Amino acid sequence: MRKPQKRAVETRSRILEVARKQAAVSGYEGLRTEEVVKEAGVAKGTLFAHFGDKDQLLLVLMGEELEQAIAVLAELSEKPAFGLKEFQTAMAPLLKLLSRERAIFNLFQFYVGVTSENVSGEIEEECSELQRLISRIVELLQAQGKIRAHMNPDILGEGVLAFLVQAVTFKLCGLYKDDVIAEIEFGKKLDIWLEPSPAA
């Protein structure tokens, strides 16, 4: 298999650079492929040849941001000791990303939702890493005796993701008026869900 031509790589990079810049101004929902191709100096067919459609372009952009949020969790998982509050703090960038606008959350739910089996190839690695890290952090907290120890860490991790989805949903529909309230309410749910079992 021959390597992609340098020109194709440069074109893809230019499209992404323009899309990032425009998304920073107008948001993902306001991103227009017509404006991206115009500023990037490419034909619309070229954009679709590289990304398939607008959703796939957005997935690449979201994947970059998701990777940054996951890096915070990865850093936490390397610490020798930490508590539940630190876990909640490390989840905050992910909560903020997903609740920033509905387009991001819709793509997350469709492609990397808690129960989705149709994960996009563009962010499959990030999705798997997110789930693995959450389970790993839960397992580490269990080993330290800081959360309930009698449940499978993968199941507890799925619950963490479910409460994350709930917090984002409530933020986007206006039940939580800002990120601070969303984080506080998410933290309350985690406290209850992961609370250590009372001593026998």
Amino acid at 53: D
- Letter string b/e over residues 37-48, b meaning 16 or more CB atoms within 10 A of that residue's CB: beebebeeebbe
The confidence score (pLDDT) of residue 7 equals 86
Rounded to the nearest integer, the mean pLDDT of the chain is: 88
What secondary structure letter does DSSP report for 78? T
Q: How would you write the pLDDT of the chain (200 residues) with one tens digit per residue?
A: 445 688 888 999 999 999 999 998 998 888 999 999 999 999 999 999 998 888 889 888 888 888 999 999 999 999 999 999 999 999 999 999 999 988 888 877 776 554 445 445 656 777 788 889 999 999 999 999 999 999 999 999 999 999 999 999 999 999 999 999 999 999 999 999 998 866 54
pLDDT on residue 116:
46
Token pair, residue 10, equals 């440069």
pLDDT for res 200: 41
Report yes or no: 129 and 195 within 8 Å, Cβ to Cβ.
no
Q: Mark 150-180 as b/e (b = at least 16 C-beta within 10 Å).
A: eeebeebbbbbbebbbebbbbbbeeebeeee
pLDDT digits (tens, 9 = 90+) for 6-44: 888 899 999 999 999 999 899 888 899 999 999 999 999
pLDDT at res. 125: 75
Q: Which amino acid is at 12?
A: R
Structure tokens at 141: 């907290």
Spatial separation of the C-alpha atoms in residues 130 and 123, rounded to whole Å: 11
Secondary structure of residue 4 in the 3-state scheme:
coil
First CA to last CA across the chain, in angstroms? 62
Domains of the chain and any CATH numbers: 1-52 (1.10.10.60), 58-194 (1.10.357)
Is residue 123 within 8 Å of 59, Cβ to Cβ?
yes
- What is the structure's pLDDT at 115? 43
The answer to whether 33 and 18 are in contact (CB under 8 A) is no
